[in-house]
Amino acid sequence: MEFTGQIELIWEQTKLPLVVPVLKVLVVLCLAMSVMLFIERVYMGIVIVFVQLFRRKPEKMYKWEPMKDDVELGNLGYPMVLVQIPMYNEKEVYQLSIGAACGLSWPADRVIIQVLDDSTDPAIKTLVQVECQRWASKGINIKYEIRDNRNGYKAGALKEGMKHSYVKQCDYVAIFDADFQPEPHFLTRTIPFLVNNPQLGLVQARWKFVNSDECLMTRMQEMSLDYHFIVEQEVGSSTHAFFGFNGTAGVWRISAINEAGGWKDRTTVEDMDLAVRASLKGWKFVYVGDLKVKNELPSTFNAYRNQQHRWSCGPANLFKKMAMEIIRNKKVSLWKKFYVIYSFFFVRKIVAHIVTFVFYCVVLPATVLVPEVEVPKWGAVYIPSIVTLLNAVGTPRSLHLVLFWIIFENVMSLHRTKATFIGLLEAGRVNEWVVTEKLGDGLKTKLGGKAPRKPRFRIGDRVHILELGVGAYLFFCGCYDLAFGKNRYFIFLFLQSIAFFIAGVGYVGTMVSTS
């Protein structure tokens, strides 16, 4: 009792002179960031409405004519296309991606399939090489390329792949990650944009998820990524502002890559890095939203955490490296520079992560313990509700899951915020690259369909201390609010704390036995 009394005394002595002023400043900062995010979401919503109303399809914005057979030139009328498939120990999906690439509808003598295998497992290397030989025996022009190191990871592999002499005869390069399966008509839809519009440097397609119904976590990912593709990418393309290359399911003009300085491995988002540099050189990009390429979402929690670390840390680190370069650039308009720096980087890649965690998981719960600090209802309820609804419209089929999406995104915001600060400060894990685990056709075999599974428990892989700590903090705030508070936040706080506890013990996503 004496110890508890001392804690209460210390709290009362420090609350008014120290805690209250700091919390008030944090509330103001978080409200300002919330308004920035709100304006950004509303702006993109308005643009999308206009795009839909006026049917601003890519074919109307840029010249597009189908490739036609030329009687005199024959297949020479088709440009040479390089198809790159970078992979690393992709035992479960290598056949899918190679098979899909070899099935593209394009004259066989005008396409080169390049498999860039960085695998460290000799058995998997052999499997991939044999698969390439199998397709080569069918008359497919396929090259199996390896290197003696993994320097630069994916960027290093792509850069090395471009050095081969046969690449010089190619005009365009299509890139597909190892789990991506383009439809046969992919090249016939994308290449005409580049052929007929010399100002275009990139054509980006949309992702379609083959395992979005695998578990609740994949449904949550689908909601976030659908918003990215249906809204963010579409807005950047239709306003001629800017959108980032997604690293796969896109076709580049090789001269645009070269003019931009080629692939660089200075961050873990080599795709975004190249897109920004090419844009600063004046190249334009087009997003073809109705062209979808099948791929796989990470269905295990650790795989998803690793992916989100890279996707949050990399952009923040790239922003730090390129902000002044973008500001000083004289080739692009002031509008495009503002859009890239403020909208694309600052609001979406930094503010969105920080405000989600700091405001809703730290500051708002803290006001329960410090009733002297109040958060206006428009900031605590109205703005987040509207932002959530604007995000959810991208995936109408999951509208009923919006509550789960909110609490799951708040949980992931802890991981993303940490990664964002690592990127901005260039701390220890800034260049960490863990290849996202893919299960491919082996998923159903490993899971035994939808039957219950009992994964082997590894405490080091499953327990996440930070999530458990935040869960405990939110639970304490919820109990305090229920007992003494007037805010009536306790329902949200209890739900959010449960979500953090569940994530903290790794009981999220698909559980695949490693035995």
Looking at the annotation, which residues are catalytic? 118, 271
* Class of residue 168 by CB neighbours under 10 A (exposed 0-12, middle 13-18, buried 19+): exposed
How big is the chain, counted in residues? 515
Contact (CB, 8 A) for 90 and 161: no
Neighbours of 452 (CB within 10 A): 7
d(CA 124, CA 97): 15
Q: Please tell me the distance from the alpha carbon of residue 121 to that of residue 105, in angstroms, as a whole number.
A: 32
Q: How many CA atoms lie within 13 A of 394 on its CB side?
A: 27
Q: How many CB atoms lie within 10 A of CB 416?
A: 23
Place of tokens 């299509």: 174
3-state secondary structure of 278: helix
**Residue 351, token pair as written in the block:** 């503010």
Q: Which residues are CB-neighbours of 30 under 8 A, at least 6 positions away?
A: 355, 358, 359, 363, 379
| Residue 84 DSSP label | E
Burial of 12 (0-12, 13-18, 19+ CB in 10 A): exposed
Of 97, 252, 90, the closest CA to residue 161 belongs to: 252
